[in-house]
Every structure is written in structure tokens, then in C-alpha cells.
Structure 1
């Protein structure tokens, strides 16, 4: 699935609103909860990164590869700020970032869609499993997995999630799970053990590194919305 830039900007705006609704007014204890998908960060820290991305993009400080130093600097720069001032900063960026994306591209959409689910996993609040943005993200990152498979010299892999699939029908290795779980798997949010358990044909073991699109796979199983 592909989105036009105008559609992607609207999807970003909806995702921002959902995240704000999710975190606004949570008690300090919940803001301090660790994020299983981003184990070095708390809920507050992850929100600081998402907010900081918008501010850095507007200031022409976007890192080409979104490296760890760049993202951690966003968190460090907002150390000591609670949820309310972070939300206020982000709301102030909404209009300018919508205009920025219309001119420079819609990369911020991936970040907010992925991290919305990371935050939901930390807070135990499932939702937004069937958005157009998540479907587009799944297609894009399934393509990255397929590219990594080809670069590794492996035969093609097939992913099957309900009515969605990616890869040739005659693939020797087939991974089958919900469309949502596969969206999370191709963004390195599902463990090797989960991928093994979803393999219904062939041996997924040689393919596991291909799923590490955004860093190493988590060491333990993740089920977003459940702590």
C-alpha cells in the first residue's frame, strides 16, 4: 500500500493526536515505565525523542541515518521535562511540520507510527492496528526485509498475514502471523523466538538477521498492548 504525501501528512497528524491522547495526563509512575521495544528508554524518554525529531527536522538538524547519538541527544536535551511540556512542544510543531513534510517528504510518519506502538506496548493500551499508515509501513519494511534476503544470497521469503502477503507464493520459507504482528516484525519489534514460532514452512533461522531492519531483534517476545 502506498500513500500520497497529502494522505501521509494526514496520517501523521492522526497518529500524533493518538499519541497525545495516550500519554497526556498519565501519572509520573507510568511516564517512568520502561519501553520493552526501546529498553534504554522510559515512556517519557521515548516521547522526548518523538518530539525532538519534529523540532530537529524543522531546524534542519535531521540526521541522515537517525543514529543513536542523534536520537539520544533529543532525549538528553529534554531531561527533566515532564509529559505536559513535551506535549506542548509537539503541539507547537504540528502546523510547521505539516508544511515541512509537504516540502521535504514524509519521513516523520514512520517514526511516529512505529513509536506509537512502542508506547502502547509499554502502557498496555493496544490500538491503531489497522491504520493506512501501518499498512504502508508494513509494505515498505517488508521490502527492506526482502532486499536484505537478496543481499544475503538467500532464496525469497514469504510473509502471510490474513489478507496481506509479501513474497512469492512458491517460497521455500513461509512466516504466517497476524498482519499487525508482521508489521511489527519487519520493523525489528518481534523476537527471533516469535519468528520461529510463526514459521509454517521451511527454516527461518538463516533469515533472522534480515528482520533486524532497525537494530537487533528484541531478546524476549513482545506483544504490544500487554506489559
Structure 2
């Protein structure tokens, strides 16, 4: 894996859309080839949700982006549950159709939003990994989209003023800098592979993974629990 050039703190508007396009081309064929019962499998990263629930959450989020529906409380747990419930009578393939449309068309809308929606593209990519893990697919949080996901994660953590971290990735040519660039706190250090770093920043289990983290606790890295 090769990470893109270090553009820490600089937004690349087209990056979220490219990430979603790459992930669409990997995920949608996988979903269309699965048996109906596979959509009922539990997703460990999202307690109480099935594969279908995660997909319905993702597809509805994209539709909200495309339709500009951002009412108060959007993407809260209650809002997510309502979106999933609204699709309860849909076929699995209809949910996949909506997801495919969203992953195809949301990129330009996210690009025009000035950065505020970039984390949504990253979160949807992480959820695709959650689904692959539920299916028992290898490399759940890896694949062709990983370099773009890492670059987007670097920008998102900088935008959020997240703690500074210097990542020496086993599977990349260049180190990755994430988080606050103000220098107010010495950067934490990470040594390990890209997928494990994604798991840490997404609050996913890293049981059995080989990595080193100094200057921060694993729980401090989660960007989806703020």
C-alpha cells in the first residue's frame, strides 16, 4: 500500500467521492452476491444492528446528503433508528440499490460542502468494513480504498483538532501525520499497519493486532465518539 503525498491539514475536495467510488465497486458486487439470510447477520461493531441495518443506515445517510435533509438531530441514534425503520419493508436489493446510488452521486455534494461532510464518507467506508467483517471476509478494513481512507482520516482529524499523532505504517512508503498541527502537545506515535490504525480511529476492536502506540491511549483516538 502507498499513501498519497503528505498534505496534512489541506483539504482535497474530490477525495471523499473517489473513496466512495472505489468502495462502491468493491462492496456492491459483494452484497449482490450474498444470500438473503446473510443480511440478518449481526454486526459486532454496531451492537443490535444486522448487516441490513448498517446498510440501511448508510443508504439513508447518502439520500439525506443528496436531498439536503439535515434537520435538527440528524444522524443521532434516534434519527438513525427512524431511517432504518422507514426501510423495514424494503427488499434487501432495494436497500443496496439506494446505497449504490448514494455512493455514486454523493461525492460532488460532499465536495461542495466545504469539509463538514467529509467525515460521513469516511464513516461509510468504515461501515463497509464492518459489513465485510460480519461476512467473515478477509481484510475488512483494507482493500483498494485504504490509502484514500487514511488520507481522508488525516484531514478529518486535523479539522477536528484531534490529538496529534505520527504514524509509521508498515504497509506504506511514507509516514502519516494526523490530528492537531498547532504543536501544543507532542505527537503520539503509532507503529503498525494501516487497517489497525483505521480500527483504532473508528473505535473498532484490535484484539490480536500487532502495533505500538505511545503518548496516547487507544480510546483517545476514536473520532466517531465525540
Q: Same fold (TM over 0.5)?
A: yes
1:164 — aligned with what?
175
1:224 — aligned with what?
none
Q: 2:204 aligned with 1:214, yes or no?
A: no
Q: TM-score, normalised by structure 2?
A: 0.71
- Of 109, 122, 129 in structure 1, the residue corresponding to residue 143 of structure 2 is 129
Higher RCO, 1 vs 2 (CA within 8 Å, ≥6 residues apart): 2
Residue 16 of structure 1 deviates from its aligned partner by 2.0
Residue 15 of structure 1 deviates from its aligned partner by 1.3
Residue 172 of structure 1 deviates from its aligned partner by 9.2
Residue 99 of structure 1 deviates from its aligned partner by 4.1
2:3 — aligned with what?
none
Q: 2:80 aligned with 1:67, yes or no?
A: no
SS, match of residue 203 in structure 2: coil
1:198 — aligned with what?
211
1:26 — aligned with what?
34
Q: CA RMSD in A?
A: 3.4
Shift in CA distance, 45/188, structure 1 to aligned 2, threshold 3 Å: same
Q: TM-score, normalised by structure 1?
A: 0.71
* Contact 2:39–2:52 under 8 Å retained in 1: yes
Aligned residues: 203
Residue 173 of structure 1 deviates from its aligned partner by 6.2
Residue 190 of structure 1 deviates from its aligned partner by 2.9
* Contact 1:176–1:200 under 8 Å retained in 2: yes
* Contact 2:19–2:149 under 8 Å retained in 1: no
* Contact 1:173–1:199 under 8 Å retained in 2: no
Worse-superposed segment, 21-30 or 34-43: 21-30
Shift in CA distance, 120/92, structure 1 to aligned 2, threshold 3 Å: closer
1:219 — aligned with what?
none
State how far apart, in whole Å, the 2-side matches of 1:143 and 1:187 are: 15
SS, match of residue 202 in structure 2: coil
Shift in CA distance, 65/73, structure 1 to aligned 2, threshold 3 Å: closer
Shift in CA distance, 18/109, structure 1 to aligned 2, threshold 3 Å: same
